[in-house]
Structure 1
């Protein structure tokens, strides 16, 4: 029997509370979603707004039209059988309505950026998304993002930055978000501090090439989820450019190339 949207939402929520960290290599189109979904151990998918925008030639930051963005996410949802979370950026001016439209196409979770707006506004946006889920009968898995670390000013003390991330994260949890996303957090001590403050299986992070701890290490720190944002697309594009350069230089395509499409 095909799972309903409510079933998929419950499954995604359960994956965030299990002892094992949930690892979500982000996807950006149908073929990337199918390849990741077919990878052993993958239990859910998350889209990357930056990568989807790049696919259509738009810069990041809600520059891609929402209709086009949602159409790609719809295609991804329809192409796989796993729960799908959508990067909704900052909500396109109406987080509740954007979440409602996403749920309508089968999305069961999503990222929402606070952009360091006043805390009251950011909390209201979280509440609007959670209300959209309740109205649809779905336990929407909102990954409420705070940019306290990613957008920290150079003159801010590190302790002040971490306190701000914790304050915002706790406010988002109180507003109903199941988990809190803190991009830019890579140092073990800071991760432990934020994880302890938010509680076990409440913190989610992004894996940054050459900077982040391994997923297995993050699991020991109580991190619930690890995603990759635009970096998985960059991995693919790096491999593409490197292969093209080797070919143009007189070589061949990699012998390890697999027929994944």
Structure 2
């Protein structure tokens, strides 16, 4: 019998990417599931902010697992959890945290290669140990690679691509299942990474209005295997809520029916 983890892994097809519209709680998970999603993914920023915390593991592991259990309880879809840096100072601690997420019902996780609050990337060998500890649980490990973070757009080129690919090879060797490369919309870089990465590549959606993409097909043609939306769904929902509240509290009609 195919497990949810195996099913989730099979959704990562270069050129036919899995689309994840990130959620933050059980209610948003139900809404996205009912819209026809193949899988459910949390985004750490939205999860933390929705509960009054800041991103960066200020939302504790216990709270994240409680939130995860509620999400898993309202959908039969595979659920992947954004675990930021893995909730552990050491590889062993990361392994225990990820095993707890697996036990709570997650089929996958995101694991960053920066520690909370740090700008420098975790050394490759150390990050590979953290990934190996996470992968030992059997969960789908989407290894985030922050090489492009904080780099000016005009520097996004072959040198940074090679840095990403060095980490991709190390992460694949440690047991990662996917490679998440945020912070770039450079088509040539994305295409080169997708072509040469040993792991299926996840790109975060950036709208055309912000210098990003016009459609899913554009990323599919570059070889992307997974598209996520990060904090944008949460932010858009909060923008609508704030604007609607201002409308109602100013004495005008609500901007909705029913």
Q: TM-score normalised to the size of structure 1?
A: 0.87
Q: What is the alpha-carbon distance in structure 2 between the residues aligned to residue 84 and residue 241 of structure 1? A: 29
Q: 2:183 matched to which residue of 1?
A: 184
Structure 2 residue corresponding to 1:61, chosen from 46, 56, 60:
56
Q: 1:83 matched to which residue of 2?
A: 78
Checking the alignment, whether the CA contact within 8 Å between 1:152 and 1:161 is kept in structure 2 is: no
Q: 1:136 matched to which residue of 2?
A: none
Instruction: Report the Cα offset of residue 35 of structure 1.
Output: 0.1
Checking the alignment, whether the CA contact within 8 Å between 2:156 and 2:189 is kept in structure 1 is: no
Distance 1:157 1:144, change over 3 A: closer
Provide the secondary structure at the position in 2 that maps to 1:9: helix
Provide the secondary structure at the position in 2 that maps to 1:67: helix
The count of aligned residue pairs is 245
Q: 1:16 matched to which residue of 2?
A: 12
Q: What is the alpha-carbon distance in structure 1 between the residues aligned to residue 98 and residue 61 of structure 2? A: 12
Q: 2:104 matched to which residue of 1?
A: 105
Residues 87-96 or 153-162, more deviating: 153-162
Structure 2 residue corresponding to 1:208, chosen from 203, 206, 211:
206
Checking the alignment, whether the CA contact within 8 Å between 1:111 and 1:144 is kept in structure 2 is: yes
Distance 1:39 1:52, change over 3 A: same
List aligned pairs for 1:165-180, cutoff 5 A. 165-180=164-179
Checking the alignment, whether the CA contact within 8 Å between 1:146 and 1:168 is kept in structure 2 is: yes
Distance 1:195 1:12, change over 3 A: same
Q: 2:254 matched to which residue of 1?
A: 253
Provide the secondary structure at the position in 1 that maps to 2:146: coil
Q: What is the alpha-carbon distance in structure 1 between the residues aligned to residue 113 and residue 151 of structure 2? A: 13
Q: 2:118 matched to which residue of 1?
A: none
Provide the secondary structure at the position in 2 that maps to 1:79: coil
Checking the alignment, whether the CA contact within 8 Å between 1:21 and 1:223 is kept in structure 2 is: yes
Aligned-residue RMSD, C-alpha: 2.1
Provide the secondary structure at the position in 2 that maps to 1:125: helix
Instruction: Report the Cα offset of residue 34 of structure 1.
Output: 0.2
Say if 2:235 is the partner of 1:234.
yes
Residues 88-97 or 158-167, more deviating: 158-167
Provide the secondary structure at the position in 2 that maps to 1:16: coil
Instruction: Report the Cα offset of residue 20 of structure 1.
Output: 2.1
Q: TM-score normalised to the size of structure 2?
A: 0.88
1:115-173 C-alpha deviation (Å, 9 max, x unpaired): 1101001111111111121xxxxxx2111001111244899674332221121122112
